[in-house]
Amino acid sequence: MRVVFLGAPGVGKGTQADRIAAQFQVAKISTGDLLREAVRNRTVLGLQAKSCMDQGNLVPDDVVIKLVREKLADPSCANGFVLDGFPRTVPQAEALGAVLSGKGIALDLVVNFQVPREDVVRRLSGRRSCPKCQATFHVDFAPPKVDGICDRCGEPLVQRSDDRRDAIEMRLKVYNEQTAPLVRYYDERQLLHPMDASSAVDVVFQHLSQELTPYRAT
């Protein structure tokens, strides 16, 4: 299975990518997670990326393309992958196509997550994340068992620096300008599959797993 999860910030791509990767035993590649790890580890890349991310802007294409190219070469991707948050621009999509065709493979599907804007803002402003294991919660929709503590690893949860109101607005603007054109890009290549992601997490997961089951063995 080789799929891309496309959609605005907060539509639930990361939440579903975790579950799909576990269910189908494929790798989850989240450029957001990889960049946040680089920021935490204060690598050169992380220091370059931090200000773009905090403001809600995209990190330069060459930086994320390099990250994804390295990840795709990893043996953990041999059984397939879910790309979460990549590609986000047409040049990134073109680079991905070139990397995959160089390996003699292609994408199976691009799932376009759709959620009304007001729901997205509510999801993002109530999100709490684990800085250690990257698990994601929501104060109303997916609260942790113990308030403020990660269920998975026990670390105190934090609010992401780009989940402030001004950064959320900027991320939605950037999405509309730079990422939304990928809907047409993948539609023209007959890869796009729309997904209503406005229901509860379990309901979305059930629909998504049904849609992805035919690609289990590819």
Report the helix count and the strand count for the chain, using DSSP H and E.
Answer: 9, 7
Three-state DSSP at 195 gives strand
Give the nearer residue to ligand AP5 in terms of CB position, either 9 or 80. Answer: 9
Using the contact rule CB under 6 A, the part of the chain among 9-17, 21-29, 40-48, 149-157 near ligand AP5 is: 9-17
Give the length of the chain.
218
Encoded amino acid at 40, one letter: R
Residues in CB range of 61: below 8 A, 6 or more apart: 89, 91, 92, 95
For position 86 contacting ligand AP5 by CB under 6 A, the verdict is: yes
First-to-last C-alpha distance (Å) of the chain: 5
For position 171 contacting ligand AP5 by CB under 6 A, the verdict is: yes
Using the contact rule CB under 6 A, the part of the chain among 52-60, 73-81, 104-112, 208-216 near ligand AP5 is: 52-60
Catalytic residues: 13, 88, 127, 160, 171
Neighbours of 90 (CB within 10 A): 15
CB of 162 to ligand AP5, least distance (A): 6
Using CB atoms, what's the residue nearest to ligand AP5?
A: 32
Give the nearer residue to ligand AP5 in terms of CB position, either 32 or 80. Answer: 32
Number of residues that bind ligand AP5 (CB under 6 A): 35
For position 164 contacting ligand AP5 by CB under 6 A, the verdict is: no
Q: Which of 26, 25, 96, 24 is nearest to 61 (CA)?
A: 96
* Buried/exposed code over 9-31 (b: 16+ C-beta within 10 A; e: otherwise): bbbbbbbbbbbbbeebebbbbbb
For position 80 contacting ligand AP5 by CB under 6 A, the verdict is: no
Q: Using CB under 6 A, which residues numbered 119 to 158 contact ligand AP5?
A: 123-124, 127, 136-138, 141-142
Give the count of alpha carbons within 13 A of 100, CB side only. 19
Q: Which residues bind ligand AP5 (CB under 6 A)?
A: 7, 9-15, 31-32, 35, 52-53, 56-59, 64, 85-86, 88, 92, 123-124, 127, 136-138, 141-142, 162, 171, 200-201, 204
